[in-house]
Amino acid sequence: MVTKLKMSLADIAEATGEAMPLIRAAINAGDLKTFIVGRRRFARPADVEAWVDFLEHESDAGRPVKYQARPQVEA
């Protein structure tokens, strides 16, 4: 079996059970480290694990992480 060296955002959503908007918010907040190849964004599995560990640590400390949606820009 080949171990993945990088995970797409869809892979991250499948592995963590989190919705894509929450994953994007975590990236924007700087909590989930990612990188871009071409036009696609990826994360190393260790960085996804670090993010989940961060979420668990914050929850255990009584500070569950709540990512805010981006404000809607009115045209």
pLDDT digits (tens, 9 = 90+) for 62-74: 999 998 766 666 6
Q: Is residue 1 part of a domain?
A: no
The one-character DSSP state at 36 is E
Rounded to two decimals, the pTM is 0.85
Domain range for 21 is: 7-60
Phi, psi of 41 (to 5 degrees): -105, 140
- Over residues 32-49, the mean pLDDT reads 98
Band of residue 3 on the pLDDT scale cut at 50, 70, 90: confident
Residue 1 or residue 38, greater confidence: 38
The tens digit of pLDDT for each residue in 25-39 reads: 999 999 999 999 999
pLDDT of residue 39: 96
Q: Is residue 52 part of a domain?
A: yes
Is 69 within a domain?
A: no
3-state helix, strand, coil in the chain (%, to 5): 45, 10, 45
Q: How many domains does the chain have?
A: 1
The reply to whether 38 falls in a domain is yes
